[in-house]
């Protein structure tokens, strides 16, 4: 019997795309004092982002003075159709019906309500009344990987299909202009975007088997990345020291993960690295000794979609899967509050079988 938990389908759903330069010219430029505008514009220009998606575009609707309550109500309006589309595409890709799922897990740190996305989407998509549900909140950009680990563990233990949905609407958390220039907010405003990505995991099918999900958390740097609930939405704290912390830990995490499976970095032909920003990708490339081709999918996702928080690493995985010759082994890496680093090893069934 094949006990692998295997990724059998992926579905992506994106709100309307916005050109980065148009966001700058049409909205952000006028929110900074003239003497600092050139500096801020360089940050936007050097973000690695060309286009990104916004369910609530500041070019059309300025939410910066909205209360958190108003933002949460809008979250439900926007996230339900986005999530429904991603889940539907993943199920179609896997050749499964919604009522065949044993577990439905949802990751999101950009909105909360009860009943939540897990309940409402299970209802609207026709999942079984007995489907197990799991909602993972406030883990941030790395949430897809512990989420994937949880659904994979369920599949192995229960022998039933499971589905993970990551849905984030960072555009709802645009912060009001501050009296002083806040570099952490500038970087956040230059990078973050919206997306939903869903993954179907099944027992023993063709596709990428989830071999292991590993993590390391450096709690001495817990203040380097924060996501605080305020009266005006959720406010990102993003220290410029984050890349330095990743530099300390990423090589050991990857080496240890691969060594447990008798592998080395040279034997991995696919890399799905969460594109938290150009400096994050540069550190990972340098520490792992990867060439430009290995990092290209992550950089391309950053350029085309921005940093969408938890769905982003799944966007990179989807890009790898769609290549004419998909990689046989993939390492997924994602980073977030804690500071936490997650790594996941995937292998095609032709490798594992």
For the chain, domains (ranges, CATH) are 5-203 (3.40.47.10), 208-352 (3.40.47.10)
The partner residues of 229 in beta bridges, in order of sequence, read 234
Of 33-42, 87-96, 117-126, 254-263, which range is least confident? 33-42
CB under 8 Å to 218, separation ≥6 — which residues? 245, 248, 249, 338, 339, 340
Q: Which of 107, 109, 141, 166 is catalytic?
A: 141
Backbone angles phi, psi at 205, to 5 degrees: -95, 180
The partner residues of 333 in beta bridges, in order of sequence, read 273, 343
Give the three-state DSSP class for 217: strand
Count of residues making up the chain: 353
> Which pTM value belongs to this model?
0.96
Q: Please check the confidence at residue 81 and state whether its pLDDT lies above 60.
A: yes
148 close to 211: Cβ distance less than 8 angstroms: no
Average pLDDT, the chain: 95
Q: Nearest-CA neighbor of 108 among 306, 332, 336, 311?
A: 311
Q: What is the mean pLDDT of residues 242-251?
A: 95
Q: What is the mean pLDDT of residues 35-45?
A: 91
Distance (Å, whole) CA 271 – CA 216: 19
| DSSP for residue 237 | E
pLDDT, tens only, 162-182: 999 999 999 999 998 765 668
pLDDT, tens only, 273-324: 999 999 999 999 999 999 999 999 999 999 999 999 999 999 999 999 999 9
Q: Please check the confidence at residue 133 and state whether its pLDDT lies above 50.
A: yes
Question: Residue 1: pLDDT band by 50, 70, 90 thresholds?
Answer: very low
173 close to 110: Cβ distance less than 8 angstroms: yes
Based on the residue annotation, tell me whether 141 is a catalytic residue of this protein. yes
């Amino acid at each position: 019997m094949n006990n692998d938990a295997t990724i059998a389908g992926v579905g992506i759903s994106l709100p309307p795309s916005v050109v980065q330069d148009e966001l700058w010219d049409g909205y952000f430029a006028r929110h900074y004092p003239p003497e600092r505008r050139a500096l801020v514009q360089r940050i936007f220009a050097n973000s690695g982002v060309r286009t990104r998606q916004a369910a609530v575009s500041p070019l059309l609707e300025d939410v910066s003075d909205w209360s958190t309550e108003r933002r949460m109500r809008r979250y439900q309006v926007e996230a339900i159709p986005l999530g429904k589309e991603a889940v539907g595409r993943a199920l179609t890709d896997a050749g499964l019906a919604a009522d065949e799922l044993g577990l439905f897990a949802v990751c999101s740190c950009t909105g909360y309500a009860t009943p939540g996305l897990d309940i409402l989407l299970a209802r609207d998509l026709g999942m079984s009344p007995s489907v197990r549900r799991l909602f993972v909140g406030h883990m941030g950009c790395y949430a897809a990987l512990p989420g994937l680990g949880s659904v994979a563990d369920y599949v192995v233990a229960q022998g039933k299909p499971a589905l993970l949905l990551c849905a984030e609407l960072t555009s709802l958390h645009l912060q009001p202009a501050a009296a002083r220039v806040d570099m952490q907010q500038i970087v956040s405003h230059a990078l973050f975007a919206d997306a939903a990505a869903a993954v179907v995991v099944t027992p023993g099918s063709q596709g990428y088997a989830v071999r292991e999900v590993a993590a390391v958390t450096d709690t001495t740097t817990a203040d380097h990345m924060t996501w605080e609930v305020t009266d005006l939405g959720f406010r990102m704290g993003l220290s410029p020291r984050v890349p330095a912390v990743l530099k300390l830990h990423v090589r050991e995490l990857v080496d240890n993960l691969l060594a447990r499976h008798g592998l080395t970095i040279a034997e991995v032909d696919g890399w799905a690295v969460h594109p938290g920003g150009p400096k994050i990708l540069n550190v990972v490339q340098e520490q792992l000794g990867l060439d430009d081709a290995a990092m290209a999918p992550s950089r391309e996702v950053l350029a085309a979609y921005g940093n969408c928080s938890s769905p982003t690493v799944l966007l990179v995985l989807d890009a790898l899967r769609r290549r004419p010759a998909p990689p046989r082994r993939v390492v997924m890496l994602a980073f977030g509050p804690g500071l936490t680093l997650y790594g996941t090893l995937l292998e095609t069934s032709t490798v594992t079988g």
